[in-house]
């Protein structure tokens, strides 16, 4: 058992040093590795398989609303990037630039895409002419590059993977509806599949995306009480259409500017999953998104019949549509348990000679370690029930914790108390001025997370200046 202990001891306790715990889990659960280029990580198979499942899940959801995938180049000429002023101001300082191609110095430097509004807009300029061409509902799955100074695996890396949807519509209303629709898809995906509860809302003017009219966001709370922006959906109005000249002839024969949206979700959500569900034994992956949902672990596997029975169980699980594997390596069972837990596999089945004699096996849930003795021939059905319960309870537990760590501040004193002694979301009324927003950041260390769609009237006055309040805002420290 010394070896098993060692595996778990390799990670720091999350209550002792959350940042170190996070890094330990990323590495020990085999999700990533570092490379010689700062901020550019290797996503190892165990990590990439999670992303593949997120991707497939989201992709189906997108396609069900008529979205089509395409691929835009990864290089953007500086002049094209500069056409829309706010966007270039937002992104140019953190672009990586290609200046040499082959052996020649380029006449114009090319940015590695930090986001692709400019490319899509340039494309739509040529592609859209008539109301018949609208809407265009395009999305791409790709990598992006932003030259961040401080980097952390998944949360803030220079290169990351994402999807970026870019749509173009005949009317503002249709574009706004699409912006909201995609935010709802993100929220539903995070809550149903990732078991991560989210607050849906709108970003303040200060926090919105460079160039957007409005940015909608889903905000989640991590175990350490910090917030994580987990997906955003932007409404651009006709701003890009005017900058890139995207016009169409409408049914009434009048030439009009289009209305656009964009929306994105990134590998960052894997970071969210780690920080919402993980524990001191490692990762905990929600069953719906887990690449391997159940690991069959034979006990005393050299004893006659054990491996055969374990293989039979594996086949039955797979036949029932479960993503199952067997660990029949020559490691000890304790070590195998520790590995399965570290990697966050939602359930394991322990099967040894005694169990076989009884016609049963033990199923152990990863999240709460609950053990169930199950008749072998009922395993597929029971494991499905156990995983369904785990999925639901992981969400409920995270939601309970989020709610318990959401505070209301009615005045500067309560803001101060939250800032000094609470770790979580702080709800407080706001007058709508950038001045107060900046002051709250400066004095209490909280940035505005969002103006939630579900408003509460905590008081009539701004928590900062005492003037009449316009909106309730979620505040917090953020990744």
Instruction: Return the residue of 60, 107, 132, 304 that touches its own copies, per CB under 8 A.
Output: 132
Q: Which is nearer to its own copies, 114 or 197 (CB)?
A: 114
Per CB under 8 A, 80 contacts its own copies = yes
Q: Is 25 in contact with 282 (CB distance < 8 Å)?
A: yes
253 is an interface residue for its own copies by CB under 8 A: no
Residue 204 CB contacts under 8 Å (≥ 6 apart), including other chains: 434, 437, 448, 450, 451, 473
**In angstroms, what is the minimal distance from the CB of 392 to its own copies?**
29
Within residues 332-371, the interface with its own copies by CB under 8 A covers: none
As a whole number of angstroms, the distance between CA 154 and CA 137 comes to 27
Residue 468 touches its own copies, criterion: CB under 8 A? no
Identify the residue among 87, 134, 161, 294 touching its own copies (CB under 8 A). Answer: 161
Give whichever of 47 and 237 is closer to its own copies, judged by the CB atom: 47
**Least distance in angstroms from the C-beta of 118 to its own copies:** 10
Question: What is the per-residue binding string for its own copies in 29-48, x denoting contact by CB under 8 A?
Answer: ----x-xxx--xxxxxx-xx
Choose among 222, 268, 156: nearest CA to 18.
Answer: 222
Contact window for its own copies (CB under 8 A) among 7-15, 100-108, 228-236, 411-419? 100-108
From the list 13, 89, 329, 358, which residue makes contact with its own copies (rule: CB under 8 A)?
329
**How near is the Cβ of 260 to its own copies at its closest, in Å?**
17
Residue 64 touching its own copies (CB under 8 A): no
Nearer of residues 74 and 250 to its own copies, judged by Cβ: 74
Task: List the one residue from 10, 15, 93, 206 that touches its own copies (CB under 8 A).
Answer: 93
Nearer to its own copies, 76 or 241 (CB): 76
With CB under 8 A as the contact rule, the residue among 57, 94, 280, 417 that binds its own copies is: 94
Note whether 74 binds its own copies by CB under 8 A.
yes
Nearer to its own copies, 297 or 462 (CB): 297
| Beta-carbon count within 10 A of 425 CB | 27
> For the range 414-420, what are the long-range contacts, defined as Cβ-Cβ under 8 Å and sequence gap of 24 or more?
414/463, 415/440, 415/443, 415/444, 415/446, 415/463, 415/464, 416/444, 418/444, 418/446, 419/443, 419/444, 419/445, 419/446
Q: Would you tell me how many other CB atoms lie within 10 Å of the CB of residue 136?
A: 20
| 390: nearest Cα among 371, 362, 372, 365 | 365
Task: Write the CB contacts of 270 (distance below 8 Å, at least 6 apart in sequence).
Answer: 31, 47, 50, 51, 54, 154
Number of residues that bind its own copies (CB under 8 A): 56
Which residues in 181-203 are b (16+ Cβ under 10 Å) and which e? ebbebbbebbbebbbbbbbbbbb
Residues 241 and 251: their CA atoms lie apart, in Å, by: 19
Question: Is there a contact between 90 and 212 (Cβ–Cβ < 8 Å)?
Answer: no
- Asked if residue 70 binds its own copies (CB under 8 A), the reply is yes
Binding letters toward its own copies, positions 102-121, x by CB under 8 A = xx-----xx-x------x--
388: Cβ contacts below 8 Å, ≥ 6 apart: 287
Reported in sequence order, the residue ranges of 225-359 that DSSP labels E, i.e. its strands, are 227-237, 247-249, 255-257, 259-266, 294-298, 324-326, 347-351
CB-nearer residue toward its own copies: 325 or 441: 325
Minimum CB separation of residue 149 from its own copies in Å reads 8
The residues that touch its own copies, with contacts defined as CB under 8 A, are 33, 35-37, 40-45, 47-49, 51-52, 68-77, 80, 93-103, 109-110, 112, 119, 122-123, 126-127, 132, 138, 142-143, 145, 147, 149, 158-159, 161, 329
């Amino acid at each position: 058992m010394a070896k098993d202990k060692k595996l778990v001891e390799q990670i720091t306790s999350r209550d002792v040093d959350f940042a170190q715990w996070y890094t330990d889990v990323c590495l020990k659960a085999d999700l990533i590795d570092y490379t010689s280029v700062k901020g550019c990580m290797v996503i190892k198979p165990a990590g990439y398989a999670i992303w593949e499942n997120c991707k497939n899940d989201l992709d189906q959801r997108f396609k069900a609303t008529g979205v089509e995938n395409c691929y835009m180049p990864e290089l953007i000429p500086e002049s094209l990037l500069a056409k829309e002023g706010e966007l270039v101001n937002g992104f140019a300082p953190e672009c990586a630039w290609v200046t040499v191609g082959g052996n020649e110095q380029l006449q114009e430097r090319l940015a590695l895409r930090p986001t692709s509004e400019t490319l899509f807009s340039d494309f739509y300029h040529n592609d859209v002419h008539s109301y018949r061409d609208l809407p265009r509902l395009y999305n791409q799955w790709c990598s992006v590059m932003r030259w961040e100074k401080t980097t952390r695996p998944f949360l803030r890396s220079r290169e990351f993977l994402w999807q970026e949807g870019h749509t173009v519509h005949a009317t503002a209303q249709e574009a706004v509806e699409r912006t909201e629709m995609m935010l709802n898809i993100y929220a539903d995906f995070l809550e149903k599949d990732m078991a991560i509860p989210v607050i849906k809302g709108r970003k303040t003017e200060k926090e919105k995306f460079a160039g957007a009219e409005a940015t909608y966001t889903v905000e989640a709370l991590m175990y350490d009480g910090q917030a994580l922006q987990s997906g955003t959906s932007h409404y651009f109005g006709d701003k890009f259409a005017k900058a890139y000249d995207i016009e169409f002839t409408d049914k009434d024969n009048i030439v009009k500017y289009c209305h656009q949206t964009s929306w994105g979700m990134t590998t960052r959500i894997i970071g969210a999953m780690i920080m919402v569900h993980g524990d001191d034994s490692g990762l905990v992956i929600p069953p719906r998104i887990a690449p391997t949902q159940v690991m069959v672990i034979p006990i005393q596997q050299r004893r006659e019949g054990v491996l055969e029975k374990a293989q039979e169980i594996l086949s039955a699980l797979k036949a029932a549509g479960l993503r199952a594997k067997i660990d029949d390596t020559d490691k000890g069972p304790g070590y195998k348990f520790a590995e399965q837990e570290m990697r966050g596999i939602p359930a394991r089945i322990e099967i040894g000679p005694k169990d076989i004699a009884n016609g049963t096996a033990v199923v152990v849930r990863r999240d709460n370690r609950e053990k169930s003795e199950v008749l072998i021939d009922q395993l597929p059905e029971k494991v499905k029930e156990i995983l369904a319960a785990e999925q639901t309870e992981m969400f409920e537990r995270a939601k309970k914790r989020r709610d318990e760590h959401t505070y209301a501040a009615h005045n500067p004193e309560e803001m101060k108390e939250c800032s000094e002694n609470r770790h979580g979301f702080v709800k407080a009324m706001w007058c709508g001025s950038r001045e107060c927003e900046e002051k709250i950041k400066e004095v209490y260390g909280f940035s505005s997370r969002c103006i939630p769609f579900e408003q509460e009237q905590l008081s009539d006055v701004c928590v900062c200046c005492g003037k009449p309040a316009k909106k309730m805002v979620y505040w917090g420290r953020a990744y």
